[in-house]
Amino acid sequence: MPKFVFSILTVSLLGCFESKNTETETNTHDSAEAIPPSDEPSIAVASPTLRRLTIAQYHNIITDVFGDGLLIPSNLEPDISYEGLQALGATITALSPVGIERYESASYSITEQIVENPEKMTLLFPCDTSVDSCVQDSITDIGKQLWRRPLENIQIERLMNIYHSVSLASDTNTGIQYALAAVLQSPHFLYRMEYSPTLTAYELASRLGFFLWNSAPDLELLELAESGELLDVAILAEQVDRMMLDPKHQQGLRNFFTELLSLYELDTLTKDPLVFDHASPDLYQSAKEETLRTIQYIIENDQDFRDILTTQTTFVDRRLAALYDIPAPSMTGFGEVWLDASQQRRGLLMQASMLNIHAHSTSTSATKRGIFIRKTLLCQKIPPPPANVDTSLPEATSEAPTLRERLQVHFEEPSCAVCHEMMDLVGLGLENFDGIGRWRNRENGGEIDPSGLLDGAEFLDAWELAETVKNHDNFGSCLSEHVYAYAMGHVVDDDQEAFRDWLVENLQYSNWSFDSLLRTIALSETFRKNGVE
Amino acid sequence: MMFHKKNNFDAPISRRRFLRGIMQGSLVALQLPMLELFMDRQALAQDGGFPKRFAMFYWGNGMRPDQWVPTGEGRGNDWTLSETLSPLSSLKEKISVVSGMSVKVPNTSPHWSGGLGYLTGQELIGDDDSWTAAVPTMDQIIAQSIGNSTVYKSLISGCVSDASVSWNGPNARNPIENDPTLLYEKLFGPTFREPGSEGIVDPSLAFRRSVLDSVMQDIAELDAQLGTNDRIRLEQHLDGVREIELRLARLQEDPPSLEACLRPNAPDGNYEDINSRPQFAAKNAVMSQMLAMALACDQTRVLSYTFTLPLNNLLYDFTDMGHHSLTHNEPGDQPLVQEVTKFTMTQANVFLEALNSIPEGSGTLLDNCAVILSSEVSEARTHSLDEYPLILAGSAGGSLQQNLHYRSHSQENANKFTLSIMRALGMNQVSYGANDSATSDGLSAIEV
């Protein structure tokens, strides 16, 4: 019997959270009755912005162009998250003086390793470096791959000037080193500039590379950009297919979900070791891996992407198996497991990653878990708390042993209840999973009640919560919005809603294939546009 | 001891002439800023004094006002340090404690409303997930004013912290240098020359400058094609590149002749956690010494030092619960919370003593500094912004009061404290803050 407090939702609550998907008629029928999507709507797109390379992109491009085995400094200027994505943070940050310093020293560290590596030098400079034209042609070629477009003559001249003046004072390889360093320090490398109202072939190649691979376009794409063939729809479709089969696509997918689900927080997470003695950085890395592999599995098998919330398939290592109290699939590394009906957990919400991130260092947090579901999975807005509020909760007592009882204080004060009901009544559904994701029936001697309410749908436990989120009207549109923002560099605004709705139509028609969503965006006309200021 | 600069050239140097002498290749036509550094340092030489410096020593999770506030108010013997502040007793005569002030911003974001509220003087902007500074933090405002003639405009470092408390503006948080070995390499590595030494200028400095010039050309060409917001971002990028170039130019000249400047010993420690506890003392000792010497060698005049970060959940030798959790969960008078604060003051004393151990003229480096010790809240349990922790150390060359406990009985604006310090550093700061936190009054009690 649900024991939660059920308040009558007054009109004033509508100011508390906004559902962005109030107008689309969602189609939850199965494929036999699915309606084919309409034609792509023509929309206005936001005006373009420079997009700074993220640390991951910096690494990926260097590796693509210069090969493996280079020690790439990791202490570059940190990425920032904006509207839930670092891809969006990249559109608003500049570089701090220290950040530029670090890119400067990174460029020398990387180029020094290159010029001191005879194998790499032979590959990059497959000619006689004592001859000027050899050096020039090779640097021009490398520059094109790093800058994602051909260098202009004046730029080549500047680089060759550096080469000449330095090699004169030192030697050829040092000259090459400094010229390459100039390429790496250039804003043409560090920022993405896809600026034309209709993307040029090179800009399209760039946008595709970053969207599907989180890296620069490769030589094949650059060739098709040079000839202009990439702008042909049929060739573009072939390339998108090729790119999605390329191993780099996995890197792209993993990056998107790492950003969206804030999995990078697991890299620096700390829990109180006294409260959680199973906690360790290794566990958090395993947790990150579990979530990414589960997502990759669903996408690879082209399953209904909503299954991510309820799937009984997961991937665990020894550490996670211990946390979940299941037999380890292998002594080392990860193995696929099936969580049968006797298991209390299934799906993303009940994976260690989500349970750890959306919690406190000494406990769970129904509020944080509720916020995650509302904001990240359903794209609903929750306003900030009022100023000067005391956020301390009462201690557990014998009358109020579990978090549910202690949170009553959120519901007693109307100015708190208005928003906290939206968050807490959802997050409490996961209370059987403690702050590092272990199952528990009781807390402080009291029985845990995991029932709750999500937008009019009651649920009895975490499984039902997962089903409710999966079937929520917003899930598809929210996912589409995130992928759109990741691809295009701006959030969906009023002007782009029609396109987002069209994406949802396509998503449903494809039986919720994530790959299909990516393909729809990559091949759309909208993808090839920018707004004009 | 007179501070004078050895100058190898007779005539005032124009930067273009300097560059031409270095580069062998073709000329690059650039709009180059005038070489301020020579002018500034010559002025300094005529002045005969030592430059004024600013430092921020910042720790996370506040303090307990009831255990922090000194007994008695006024000067000298009129006041005594509290138990929590007793670790500062060796320097009581050089510090001033200011109590009872408030940070006048809405407290919407626990910890960071106060943090950014004090550090920028204004309310933070953005929502829960993406809050950021509305304007640069005070260390950067001060650096813009007093940081233009040194190798580094400011140094942003810390002890046990992964991030700084220094912003250049919205969405522009400065990365932190918290690795002693890397910081040593940067400050006292191959580019450092002790005053009076015969060292050869590192040729790579010239090579690096030619690369930076090319980058600045790239930026100039790109700029023309961009929208307004992007232009601003790229301008910031350009400023950063210019800063490096000026730094390299300074490194190519003879170092200023400052007697106390010596290359310190390289840090040799392994600063890994022991038993899940950071090595606060060991790390703070080595960082303090390096940063003090960086000031003594005039490599910078502005320091932002994050001892620990707001909201940190670090463990100490004497605690078994993370600091932030402790502030919320420890009952009653919270003796462990007090112990952490007292320990922090011990480390602050180490930092200040490092500055005080360097002689400058008839006094010490600390005398020529204005150091602020602060945290993002007072009582962390309630995230209070009243009874805000503010300590001043040093007198900025005799411009600020020392050995004073000033207690506000009317919850005055904490920005008044900041404003007085900025003015003592020689800045023409008319006002500070915005909206409810705006003030054009300093805190006259701490002014000389």
pLDDT at position A533: 64
What does the pLDDT look like over A365-379, one tens digit per residue? Answer: 999 999 999 999 999
pLDDT at A237: 98
ipTM of the complex: 0.87
Lowest mean pLDDT of A1-5, A385-389, B112-116, name the range: A1-5
**Is residue A9 predicted with pLDDT exceeding 70?**
no
Q: How far is Cα A52 from Cα A96, in angstroms, rounded to an integer?
A: 12
Average pLDDT, chain B: 87
What lies within 8 Å, CB to CB, of A501 at 6+ separation is: A23, A24, A477
Using the CB atoms, write b or e for B144-175: b if 16+ within 10 Å. ebbbebbbbbbbbbbbbbebbbbbbbbbbbbb
Q: How high is the pLDDT of residue A3? A: 38
| DSSP characters over A7-21 | PPPPGGGGGT---S-
pLDDT of residue B48: 52
Over residues B227-239, mean pLDDT:
92
Query: pLDDT confidence of B109, banded at 50, 70, 90?
Result: confident
Predicted pLDDT of residue B198: 63
Phi, psi of B121 (to 5 degrees): 80, 0
pLDDT of residue A28: 44
Query: Given this model, what pLDDT does residue A120 score?
Result: 97
Share of chain B above pLDDT 70, in %: 88
CA–CA dist A427, A85 (Å, integer): 22
Helices of type H across B258-373: 280-296, 323-329, 335-356
Q: What is the pLDDT of residue A34?
A: 65
Per-residue pLDDT of A298-311, as tens digits, reads: 999 999 999 999 99
More confident residue, A389 or A225: A225
Q: What pLDDT, on the 0 to 100 scale, is given for residue A36?
A: 84
The pLDDT tens digits of the residues spanning B127-181 come to 767 789 999 999 999 999 999 989 899 999 999 999 999 999 998 899 999 999 9
The reported pTM is 0.87
CA–CA gap between residue B315 and residue B323 (Å, rounded): 6
On chain A, the residues whose CB falls within 8 A of the CB of B153 are 97
- The length of chain A in residues reads 533
CB contacts, 8 Å: B381 with chain A: 392
Tokens of B151: 């190798």
Phi, psi of A311, deg, nearest 5: -60, 140
- In the block, tokens 């979530």 appear at A291
Residue A7 predicted with pLDDT over 60: no
Are B24 and A165 in contact (CB < 8 Å)? Answer: yes
Cβ separation B383–A168 shorter than 8 A: no
DSSP H stretches of helix in A382-473: 403-406, 408-412, 414-427, 462-470
Q: Which residue has the tokens 């497959």?
A: A126
Length of chain B: 448
* pLDDT at residue B92, rounded to an integer: 98
Residue B2 has a pLDDT of 31
CB atoms within 10 A of CB A267: 11
Number of alpha carbons in the 13 Å side-chain half-sphere of residue A522: 27
Q: Express each pLDDT in A383-430 by its tens digit.
A: 877 777 767 777 888 888 899 988 888 888 888 888 888 999 999 999
pLDDT at res. A297: 98
Tell me which residues of chain B, numbers 200 to 259, contact chain A at a CB-CB cutoff of 8 Å.
Answer: 203, 206-208, 210-212, 214-215, 217-219, 221-222, 225-230, 232-234, 236-237, 239-241, 243-244
Query: What are the tokens at B122?
Result: 């204004």
Mutate to test the interface with B, among A96, A395, A491 (most CBs of B within 10 A): A96
Give the C-alpha separation, B75 to B445, whole Å.
10
**pLDDT tops 80 at residue A30:** no
- The whole-number pLDDT of residue A428 equals 93
A132 and chain B in contact, CB less than 8 A: no
Quick check: B8 contacting A, CB < 8 Å?
Answer: no
- Confidence band for B200, pLDDT divided at 50, 70 and 90: low
Which pLDDT does position B8 carry in this prediction?
33
Q: How many pairs of residues across A and B have Cβ atoms under 8 Å apart?
A: 174
CB atoms within 10 A of CB B417: 27
CA distances to B3, B7, B50 from B47, in Å: 9, 17, 8
User: Over 70: is that where the pLDDT of B362 sits?
Assistant: yes
Task: Give dist(CA A192, CA B264) in Å, integer.
Answer: 42
Euclidean distance between CA atoms A405 and B12, whole angstroms: 76
Nearest alpha-carbon partner for B376 in B131, B133, B58: B58
- Cα A78 from Cα A394, distance rounded (Å): 37
Look at residue A10 and tell me whether its pLDDT is greater than 50. Answer: no
β-bridge mates for residue A199, sequence order: none
Query: Which tens digits make up the pLDDT trace of B384-411?
Result: 999 999 999 999 999 999 999 999 999 9
Nearest CA in chain A to B156: A98
Helices (H), A186-232: 187-190, 201-213, 219-227
> What whole-number distance in Å separates Cα of residue A22 and Cα of residue A382?
17
pLDDT, average across residues A282-290: 95
In chain A, positions 155-194, which contact chain B (CB-CB < 8 Å)?
A: 155, 158-159, 161-162, 164-166, 168-170, 174, 178, 181-182, 185-188, 193
CA proximity to A370, closest of A439, A455, A480:
A455
A318 touches chain B (CB under 8 A): no
Contact present, A429 and A461 (Cβ < 8 Å): yes
> What local confidence, expressed as pLDDT, does residue B199 receive?
61
Q: Identify the pLDDT of residue A409.
A: 81
Q: Is pLDDT at A349 greater than 90 in this prediction?
A: yes
Asked if B108 and A385 come within 8 Å (Cβ–Cβ), the reply is yes
The mean pLDDT value for A168-191 works out to 97
Helix (H, G, I), strand (E, B) or coil at B161: coil
pLDDT in tens, A421-479: 899 999 999 999 999 999 999 999 999 999 999 999 999 999 999 999 999 999 999 99
Predicted pLDDT of residue A279: 81
Nearest partner of A467 among A429, A514, A428, judged by Cα? A429
3-state secondary structure of B49: coil
- pLDDT at residue A191, rounded to an integer: 97
CB atoms within 10 A of CB A332: 8
Categorize the per-residue pLDDT at A133 as very low, low, confident or very high, splitting at 50, 70 and 90: very high
Judge whether residue A337 has pLDDT over 70.
Answer: yes
Q: Average pLDDT of B346-368?
A: 96
Q: What is the pLDDT of residues B250-272, one digit of tens each?
A: 888 878 778 899 889 889 878 99
Q: What's the whole-number mean pLDDT along residues B84-113?
A: 96
Q: So what's the pLDDT on residue A398? A: 85
Contact B215 A185 (CB under 8 A): yes
A388–B107: do the CB atoms touch at under 8 Å?
yes
DSSP β-ladder status, B363-364 and A457-459: unpaired
Tell me the average pLDDT across B205-226. Answer: 94
Judge whether residue A20 has pLDDT over 70: no
| Angstrom distance (rounded) from CA A436 to CA A274 | 13
Q: Give the per-residue pLDDT at A277.
A: 78
